[in-house]
Structure 1
Amino acid sequence: MQRRTIGSNLTVSAIGLGCMGMSEFYGPRDDAESMAVLDRAVELGVDFFDTADTYGPHHNEQLIGEFLASRRPEVRIATKFGIVRTPGEYRRTLDNSAGYIRTACEGSLRRLGVERIDLYYVHRIDSGRPIEETMDDLAALRREGKIDGIGLCEVSAATLRRAHAVHPVTAVQTEYSLWTRDVEADILPTCRELGIGFVAYSPLGRGFLTGRFDGATTFGLGDARADLPRFAKENASTNRRLVDVIAEFADRKGCTPAQIALAWLLAQGDDIVPIPGTKQRRYLEDNVGAASIALGADELAALDRALSPLSVAGDRYIAEGMKGVGA
């Protein structure tokens, strides 16, 4: 497994593991299989696990905490605060208040069973509270040794600059993939100007870029994709054209569409670490295989040319999920 450095000093595997789906949003939980996925990830050299207190809520951090306690692997843990949900509900509020930050951090430390969080993100920024105050509160936690790196999710370039002026930001985590490339306009250039790492979540478009879904797909109980605009029948048929292009490139390269999508992201810069999520070992192994696939400049240019005429239909989230995005 290749290694990459996020920010100034957080060195992790070139491909991380998004753990959210092990707890909710993509159908029923299977804790035994999830533990097996975590085991296999470590075997394959993946040492960067991404979670959040709101996944479950709390179940995801507890699961990872159990894994860490029983295996004691050498891994880096990133978790988040700021999205507050009632169990069983998608509806959320945002809380970046000083009291909540400290309470959330203490809760995450307890559930994970660690003394320090390697990378602590503001999951969504509450635009009603100055980012300078939030960074001051996080800097205090860092001085106390409770967290190391500070991260921001789905932040605007302007807010990122204000935050970084108070305390260095280690990483920005935002959706980035072959069907979500908004970050290329402002966020990614700003990260590079300031020396901030970039962590790409949903690098496989919540599974759509793997080629497993189309307009006829029926999602099971508890699968949030049933309500996401890009997966709606009328949009999925349009978006399938993009996947077909990726699949053609994969056939020529002798790999899977998922591996092309991840290899493309890895080729966008050594400061980018994608964190594809899965709760099944077979998909984990396929994702990790992308690290060994090199796309040359000609191949990257050809892929861009083939995809550029195609538009993506549908928003990333429903309105509730867009709270705090671009704050």
Structure 2
Amino acid sequence: MVKQVQIGKTDLYVNPIGLGTNAVGGHNIYPNLSEETGKEVVRTALKSGINFLDTAYIYGPERSEELIGEVLKEQGNREKVVIATKGAHKFVDGKIVIDNSPAFLKESVDNSLKRLQTDYIDLFYIHFPDEKTPKDEAVGALKELKDAGKIKAIGVSNFSIEQLKEANKDGYVDVLQSEYNLFKRAVEDQLLPYTADTGISFIPYFPLAAGLLGGKYTKNTTFNDGRAKNPLFQGEAFERNLQKVEQIREIANEKGAETAHVVLAWYLTRDSIDVLIPGAKRPDQVSNNLKTLDVHLTNEEIEKISRIFK
């Protein structure tokens, strides 16, 4: 049985490996998704001991929350699952607009509750900051919902250090979710120290850098999706990055593990990172993600990995 960890200062306890569900019903993110496969991914996660699901209104839009709601209803074990979802997007005249106004956030939570077929959300995030709403006012609206029992913990996502400090003026923020991986370490300068000092849990997204840190690519791999324009995947930079990943593979080989497992295990050694949310498009990938918990890094290995990607 995996020892569960506390998410920051919340009352939420989870398996350190959760499940990111943008490929469950996220038709606007991935083409040709099978919804039945997506539901099977969620079922496999719950059966395997993963109890933390991360979704959002914009995955679909709406569909990821709906599919998770269907699975939770059929399984009948809502109280054993920790659900995180996010809101801030809305469509105005066919265009996406970001809105952090208290009224819209309250409406977003009510709509997510319906889609998830539940009467409370464990962790609700403001998905992106807007340009006009004072951040402490936005978080204040979520605090009212927390006091009313509709949500249990308050998160913000994609906030700068200034926005996070404003949002946390009253100490209400429980979790920050931001992009962080070995190639993209800017959050180490200010955000991670701040979250560590304030007891805010930090949850990284894109931890495997669009698959680059998974160790499955070679210099001959070609990309016809968004990665083709990503500087990490271009020319000499791509080859240099692959050489760095190769050094992780050496550590992984010594441990009988995969490169991705070593990378994910490294994140769990960072201050204020309690849980990870790698995604999965197939049930076997869910089981594979859990092998991260079998990897134990020495202090020397932790330092070596940090140096490789300095």
Q: TM-score, normalised by structure 1?
A: 0.85
1:137 to 130, 135, 141: 141
1:245-285 Cα distance to aligned partner (Å, 9 max, x none)? 22222112211011011111112246431110111122222
Code of the residue aligned with 1:299 in structure 2: it is E
1:80 matched to which residue of 2?
Answer: 86
1:141-195 Cα distance to aligned partner (Å, 9 max, x none)? 2222211100011222232222222352111111222222221111111111111
Moved more, 59-68 or 36-45: 36-45
- Unaligned 5+ segments in structure 1 are 309-327
Paired residue total: 304
Code of the residue aligned with 1:3 in structure 2: it is Q
Asked if 1:150 is matched to 2:154, the reply is: yes
Distance 1:136 1:45 in 2: 34
* CA positional deviation for 1:53: 0.2
Code of the residue aligned with 2:6 in structure 1: it is T
Moved more, 246-255 or 158-167: 158-167
Asked if 1:239 is matched to 2:245, the reply is: no
2:307 matched to which residue of 1?
Answer: 305
* CA positional deviation for 1:65: 0.7
1:315 matched to which residue of 2?
Answer: none
Asked if 1:16 is matched to 2:18, the reply is: yes
2:277 matched to which residue of 1?
Answer: 275
Which structure 2 residues correspond to residues 34-49 of structure 1 after superposition, within 5 A?
Answer: 34-49=38-53
Distance 1:234 1:278 in 2: 29
Moved more, 8-17 or 51-60: 8-17
Asked if 1:230 is matched to 2:232, the reply is: yes
Distance 1:282 1:10 in 2: 26
- Unaligned 5+ segments in structure 2 are none
* CA positional deviation for 1:216: 4.3
Distance 2:90 2:240 in 1: 34
- Report if the CA contact (8 A) 1:2-1:13 is conserved: yes
Q: Secondary structure at the match of 1:169?
A: coil
Code of the residue aligned with 1:62 in structure 2: it is E
- Report if the CA contact (8 A) 1:141-1:147 is conserved: yes
- Report if the CA contact (8 A) 1:17-1:48 is conserved: yes
* CA positional deviation for 1:226: 4.7
1:73-129 Cα distance to aligned partner (Å, 9 max, x none)? 32100000113358xx9x743111223212211110000001011000010011322
Code of the residue aligned with 2:126 in structure 1: it is V
Identity of aligned residues (%): 34
2:104 to 85, 100, 104: 100
Distance 1:218 1:306 in 2: 25
Distance 2:160 2:107 in 1: 26
Asked if 1:50 is matched to 2:51, the reply is: no
Q: Secondary structure at the match of 1:274?
A: coil
* CA positional deviation for 1:138: 1.3
Moved more, 245-254 or 108-117: 245-254
Distance 1:21 1:241 in 2: 29
1:188 matched to which residue of 2?
Answer: 192
Q: Secondary structure at the match of 1:161?
A: helix
2:267 to 256, 265, 268: 265
1:38-88 Cα distance to aligned partner (Å, 9 max, x none)? 1221122110000000011111101111111111232100000113358xx
Distance 2:148 2:268 in 1: 34
**RCO higher in structure (CA 8 A, sep ≥6):** 1
Aligned-CA RMSD value: 2.3
1:209 to 200, 206, 213: 213
Distance 1:162 1:103 in 2: 23
Code of the residue aligned with 1:243 in structure 2: it is V
2:252 matched to which residue of 1?
Answer: 250
- Report if the CA contact (8 A) 1:200-1:272 is conserved: no
1:166 matched to which residue of 2?
Answer: 170
1:120 matched to which residue of 2?
Answer: 124
1:6-58 Cα distance to aligned partner (Å, 9 max, x none)? 12222111111100022242442122222222122112211000000001111
1:7 matched to which residue of 2?
Answer: 8
Q: TM-score, normalised by structure 2?
A: 0.90
* CA positional deviation for 1:237: 3.4
- Report if the CA contact (8 A) 1:41-1:284 is conserved: yes
Distance 1:94 1:219 in 2: 30
- Report if the CA contact (8 A) 1:262-1:290 is conserved: yes
- Report if the CA contact (8 A) 1:264-1:295 is conserved: yes
Q: Secondary structure at the match of 1:200?
A: strand
